[in-house]
Amino acid sequence: MVTDLPDAVHPGARVVIVAAMSSGQGKTTVTAALARRLLNMGKRVRVFKCGPDFVDPVMLESACGTPVHNLDLWMVGRDECLRRLRDAAREADAILVEGVMGLYDGSPSAADLSREFGIPVLAVLDASAMAQTAGAVAQGLRDYGPVQMAGVIANRVASPGHAAMVKDSLRDIPLLGTLPRQEHKLPERHLGLVLPGEVEELHQILDALADSIDFDEAAWDALPVMAPSTDEPAPPEPLLAGRLIAIARDPSFVFVYPANIDLLKAMGARITYFAPLSDEAVPEDADAVYLPGGYPELHGPALEKAAQWRASIRAAHARGVPIVAECGGMMALADGLTDSQGKRWEMAGLLPGEVAMQKRLSGLGPHAMPTPTGEVRGHTFHYSLLQTDVVPESHTVKQKTGAQGEAVYKVGSLTASYFHGYFPSNPRAAAAMFGGGK
């Protein structure tokens, strides 16, 4: 899929998958720093995230200045992944795809994406506790699949001498760059990195990281180029034409695929936003409400005090307005939420039951939700449990095993689940959830 022809003949973008041997190597930091470095060099940059992830894309969007979409051969689909890559190549000089976990972890993995489209891998190695062994790791990452290796970025390098030892060990694999040990790193919490708005002086940190990369521009310029697309995709049916969808958006409701919003708009919906944490009411003229996931467990006091928000969502439910609540959105609609300190907070009370945070992960992985028009693909990732007497309308199906997954609850006009749906996997089913396509 990637061609190594001159830009004058085949204009497009140089594209790499930024991957590693495991989580914790610094993939997001390196991807963000490299995106900012390329931007500062005057290049147009697009960034994608491999797999079903919300938090990393928000941080990466701050680094590159454009929305960060997900690429996943199962959830997004092969053809849609290729379309998004080729569309990006039409408007960008550089495309970075951050991998997920380790290069070969998961099914599909970042390595599967690399091989499917011929995208070379830029391996991030945490060199803080190794030197010449870096070469063995890099060669193993390349040869195990195998995958095409664009090169290595050595992270947390101690000195120029240390960098030289790493470079010599790589043999025929280029060292595209090194990044020193960082004084400031992006903080994390139980669902991943914290959100950009919570990090003071984020852009100064990103610029400092970009400036600290010892970057081999010639090696970058030698990478192959992906040709851009020439065809425009057919628009989806206008199944939501004229409908106003109110979407909760604040630090408590922040986990949403950008592709979901794009699809709702493409199907004709008008989008408006409101902030429950600021006690903003659901707009009275809304035809549907979307409550994405997020961190309600971190904002129990504010959500309990938001009397206007709680009354307005109950009123919308009483009017029969379709409400779609995913994970954190569902948690905010239970009777109560007990946080990790054991403190209980009153929630909106549309879904009878109690939510309690757990110390260990309660759900993780790709799932599919059955609907009358076929499955909606997506994933689940949560640290809380819901105790309720409501009988589920259905359950999702785990992609890897086919076993029963997350409960899907229907209470009047409310559809609620821990499941995060990727709406473009089934536009007609997505439209139906918001009262469209009837």
Q: Which of 50, 64, 81, 327 is catalytic?
A: 327
What does the alpha-carbon distance between residue 330 and residue 324 come to, in Å, rounded to a whole number? 8
Instruction: Say which DSSP state 323 is in.
Output: E
Instruction: Say which DSSP state 378 is in.
Output: E
Structure tokens at 26: 């610094």
Q: How far is CA 387 from CA 30, 197, 338, 354, 433, in A?
A: 40, 32, 12, 5, 24
What does the alpha-carbon distance between residue 164 and residue 281 come to, in Å, rounded to a whole number? 59
Name the β-bridge partners of 248. Answer: 274
What does the alpha-carbon distance between residue 142 and residue 169 come to, in Å, rounded to a whole number? 14
Q: Is 327 tagged catalytic?
A: yes
What does the alpha-carbon distance between residue 212 and residue 312 come to, in Å, rounded to a whole number? 49
**Could you give phi then psi for residue 166, rounded to 5 degrees?**
-60, -45
What does the alpha-carbon distance between residue 113 and residue 134 come to, in Å, rounded to a whole number? 24
Closest CA to 18 of 144, 155, 183, 146: 155
Place of tokens 């990090």: 199
Q: In what order do the strands lie in the sheet with 334-338?
A: 344-346, 334-338, 351-357, 384-387
* b/e burial code for range 42-54 (CB count within 10 A of at least 16 → b): eebbbbbbbbbbb
Contact 20, 124 (CB under 8 A): yes
AA letter at 311: A
CA 51 to chain centre: 7
Active site residues: 327
